Amino acid sequence: MTVQAPLLTYFGEPKQTEAIKTALEKTQAKIQLTGLIGSSFSLTASAVVRESNNPHLFIFRDKEEASYFINDLENLLNNEVFFFPASYRRAYQFEETDNANILLRIEVLNKLNQKRNPIIITYSEALSEKVVSRKELKKHTIGLKIADKIEIDDLEEMLLHLNFEKVDFVIAAGQYSIRGGILDVYSFADEYPFRLEFFDTEIESIRTFDINTQLSINAENKITIIPNTEAKKSLEDQVSVLEYLPKNSIIWAKDIAYTKGILDDYFKRANVEHKRIEESTIQHLSPENLFTNGYEFTSELENFSIIETHQQSFFKSDEKIEINTTSLTKINKQFDLLK
């Protein structure tokens, strides 16, 4: 099978890439990039991250802006890119969560918990929601590997304790099924479900499989099974997703002041919603436990290396780097200009 070269190899690295890499050698560096137009930001960022051993978090103003960037990055790089979206539309409306978004959020937490160095794309609204702490995530994680000895009934009991649903055939995250010595389970942190084959009490094989064809995709040596941690938000303390990031993480921010404003706005809305339901018999944590406000966000952000691309940087810059790009000529159907 031929592996297609990433698009970035055809462009070459922007000449300012080395200057950015050098500036990032300083701990908690604060860098401002200016002069970026269109996809020049994607090209510059891709050149920096593709051989980096650091986790990278990109914070955009909104979901649309983040989605365009993901598309650029996936075409420019061979690296795996992860999206961290918002899980629900309104504060305390836990029943209105988007299951697909929950899968993406938990996948990011799992990668960070495994001390990987992922490339994560997110936006203001998604950062307003806090996430389950590392301690709670570990407590609710089942780790399994080939040759482990465990009774299939004991594993089923563990899954039921984590609120997995027993079904005839697994089709969605949070489900499991048992047929003889075979257990299928769909973790919330993985794209595909797992099929575990037992020989007596020993795990003989682990494979991912396609829910439509039931055909195997990949063999796995070890796996982690994670439940819907978002469903426990009404009962357990949460933390900012920034707490999951290693200290050597590099954060790229389009407009920190804008994101701070969005977080403050969502926090105010959460306070209003919490007061409305506080007389209810349903148990809910306060906004401080569930949502990140603007001050908390910027205070945590300061502890990392930051690359800002806004004309007015939020933090005092240690270094300003100019990327000299210009807009494409507008041909307006004048094809002689294009030629």
Of the three residues 164, 199, 225, the one that is the final residue of a domain is: 225
**Token pair in block for residue 74:** 């996936």
Of the three residues 185, 206, 225, the one that is the final residue of a domain is: 225
Q: What angle do CA 107, 268, 241 make, to 5 degrees?
A: 20
Do 194 and 210 sit in the same domain of this protein?
yes
Do 213 and 304 sit in the same domain of this protein?
no
Compute the Cα dihedral for 176, 177, 181, 182 and give only its sign.
Answer: negative
Q: Decide: 57 and 245 in contact? Cβ < 8 Å.
A: yes
pLDDT at 113: 82
Q: Decide: 226 and 106 in contact? Cβ < 8 Å.
A: yes
- For the entire predicted model, the pTM comes to 0.81
Report DSSP letters for 32-46, one per residue. EEE---TTHHHHHHH
Q: Decide: 206 and 196 in contact? Cβ < 8 Å.
A: yes
Do 121 and 157 sit in the same domain of this protein?
no
d(CA 82, CA 57) in angstroms, rounded, equals: 10
Report DSSP letters for 120-166, one per residue. EEEEHHHHHB-EE-HHHHHHT-EEEETT-B--HHHHHHHHHHTTPEE
pLDDT at 3: 42
Per-run averaged pLDDT (10 residues), the chain, 339 residues: 49 74 90 83 88 91 93 86 82 61 86 84 92 84 92 93 92 92 91 93 93 91 86 67 92 95 90 70 68 93 93 89 73 71
CB proximity list for 264: less than 8 A, separation 6 or greater: 293, 294, 295
Q: Kindly report the number of other CB atoms within 10 A of residue 95's CB atom.
A: 7
Dihedral angle of Cα 70, 71, 76, 78, to the nearest 10 degrees: 70
pLDDT at 220: 92
Do 243 and 127 sit in the same domain of this protein?
yes
> Locate tokens 């977080």: which residue?
263
Q: Give me the CATH number covering residue 210.
A: 3.30.2060.10
Do 326 and 270 sit in the same domain of this protein?
yes
pLDDT at 290: 83
**Token pair in block for residue 17:** 């890439």
Asked if residue 230 is part of any domain, the answer here is: no
Q: Give me the CATH number covering residue 98.
A: 3.40.50.11180
pLDDT at 209: 94
Do 63 and 180 sit in the same domain of this protein?
no
Asked if residue 3 is part of any domain, the answer here is: no
Asked if residue 284 is part of any domain, the answer here is: yes
Do 166 and 116 sit in the same domain of this protein?
no
Of the three residues 225, 247, 279, the one that is the final residue of a domain is: 225
Long-range contacts of 171-176 (CB under 8 A, 24+ apart): 171/211, 172/99, 173/99, 173/102, 173/103, 173/228, 174/227, 174/228
Q: Decide: 179 and 187 in contact? Cβ < 8 Å.
A: no
pLDDT at 58: 97
CB proximity list for 27: less than 8 A, separation 6 or greater: 305
326 torsion bin: left (phi>0), alpha (psi -120 to 50), beta (else):
beta
User: How many domains would you assign to the chain?
Assistant: 2
pLDDT at 219: 92
> Domain range spanning residue 37?
8-136+236-338
> Locate tokens 């990032």: which residue?
24
The DSSP bridge pattern shows strands 250-253 and 56-60 to be parallel
Do 272 and 131 sit in the same domain of this protein?
yes
In 3D space, the residue among 288, 286, 289 whose CA is nearest the CA of residue 278 turns out to be: 286
d(CA 105, CA 319) in angstroms, rounded, equals: 33
- 25 CA to centre of own chain: 25
Q: Decide: 254 and 121 in contact? Cβ < 8 Å.
A: no
Do 196 and 90 sit in the same domain of this protein?
no
Asked if residue 47 is part of any domain, the answer here is: yes
Do 19 and 127 sit in the same domain of this protein?
yes
Do 252 and 111 sit in the same domain of this protein?
yes
Do 195 and 334 sit in the same domain of this protein?
no
> Locate tokens 């007015």: which residue?
312
SS3 138: helix
CB proximity list for 35: less than 8 A, separation 6 or greater: 322, 323, 324, 325
Asked if residue 2 is part of any domain, the answer here is: no
